[in-house]
């Protein structure tokens, strides 16, 4: 079953604003995070794309999509 995920990346540096939420469709959270990282590169080109610059886990919410 597919889910709609909203992923927000929170920087370790508190002076920077969070990136997101980025909306992606995936079956699993790991897949959604991978897709969100790719969108992060496009939607936020001036931000760091290294996940080590963000808190260990991005904030994620999701909802089940009807088939």
Instruction: Determine the pLDDT at residue 52.
Output: 87
Domains of the chain, residue spans? 10-64
Looking at per-residue confidence, does 1 or 24 come out higher? 24
Distance of CA 7 to the CA centre of its chain: 3
Instruction: Determine the pLDDT at residue 23.
Output: 97
- The torsion angles phi and psi of 23, rounded to 5 degrees, stand at -95, 125
Q: pLDDT of 2-61, one tens digit each?
A: 999 999 999 999 999 999 999 999 999 999 999 999 999 999 999 888 888 999 889 999
42 contact partners, CB below 8 Å, separation of at least 6: none
Task: Indicate the pTM of the whole model.
Answer: 0.86
67: pLDDT strictly greater than 80: no
- Most distant pair of Cα atoms in the chain: their distance: 42
């Amino acid at each position: 079953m597919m889910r709609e995920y909203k992923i927000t990346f929170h920087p370790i540096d508190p002076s920077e604003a969070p990136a997101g939420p980025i909306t992606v469709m995936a079956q699993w959270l790991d897949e959604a995070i991978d897709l969100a990282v790719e969108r992060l590169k496009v939607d936020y080109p001036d931000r760091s794309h290294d996940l080590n610059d963000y808190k260990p886990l991005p904030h994620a919410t999701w909802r089940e999509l009807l088939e």
